[in-house]
Amino acid sequence: MRNTTTVIVGAGHCGLAMSHCLAARSVDHVVLERAEIANSWRTQRWDSLRLLTPNWMTRLPGYAYRGADPDGYLSAGRVVAMLEDYADSSAAPVLTGVTVTSVRAVAGGYVVRTDQGTWHAPTVVLASGAATLPAVPSLARLVPAGITSVTPAAYRNPGQLPGGGVLVIGASASGIQLADELHRSGRPVTLAVGEHVRMPRTYRGRDILWWLDAAGVLNQRYDEVDDLARARNVPSMQLVGSAGRTVDLNALGSAGVRLVGRLAGIADGVAQFSGSLPNVCALADLKLGRLLNTIDAWAGTAGERFAPTVVRSAPLGLNLRSGEISTIVWATGYRPDLSWLDVPVLDRKGRVVHDGGVTACPGLYLIGMPFLRRRKSSLIDGAADDAAELTTHLAGRLDALAGRRARSAS
Kindly list the residues in this chain that would bind ligand FAD in the complex (CB under 6 A).
Answer: 9-15, 32-35, 39-40, 45, 51-53, 99-100, 127-132, 152, 174, 334, 340, 368, 378-381
Calculate the alpha carbon distances from 275 to 188, 271, 303, 314 in Å: 22, 13, 33, 8
Instruction: Give the shortest CB-116-to-ligand FAD separation in angstroms.
Output: 10
The H or E element containing residue 193 is strand 189-193
Cα distance between residue 26 and residue 149, in whole Å? 48
Instruction: Give the shortest CB-68-to-ligand FAD separation in angstroms.
Output: 19
Position closest to ligand FAD via CB: 12
Nearer to ligand FAD, 258 or 354 (CB): 354
Cα distance between residue 400 and residue 387, in whole Å? 20
Nearer to ligand FAD, 182 or 379 (CB): 379
Nearer to ligand FAD, 97 or 216 (CB): 97
Judged by DSSP in three states, 254 sits in helix
Secondary-structure breakdown of the chain: helix, strand, coil percentages, each rounded to the nearest 5: 30, 25, 45
Nearer to ligand FAD, 19 or 274 (CB): 19
Other Cβ atoms within 10 Å of 239 Cβ, number: 26
Calculate the alpha carbon distances from 375 to 205, 212, 342 in Å: 23, 10, 29
Nearer to ligand FAD, 34 or 232 (CB): 34
Instruction: Give the shortest CB-121-to-ligand FAD separation in angstroms.
Output: 14
Nearer to ligand FAD, 195 or 337 (CB): 337
**Residue 277 CA, distance from chain mean position:** 25
* Amino acid identity, position 50: R
Instruction: Give the shortest CB-104-to-ligand FAD separation in angstroms.
Output: 14
Instruction: Give the shortest CB-55-to-ligand FAD separation in angstroms.
Output: 10
**Residue 198 CA, distance from chain mean position:** 17
> What are the φ/ψ torsions at residue 330 (nearest 5 degrees)?
-90, 85
Nearer to ligand FAD, 128 or 326 (CB): 128
Instruction: Give the shortest CB-242-to-ligand FAD separation in angstroms.
Output: 12
Instruction: Give the shortest CB-173-to-ligand FAD separation in angstroms.
Output: 6
Within 8 A by CB and 6+ apart from 305, the residues are 289, 292
The partner residues of 114 in beta bridges, in order of sequence, read: 100, 117
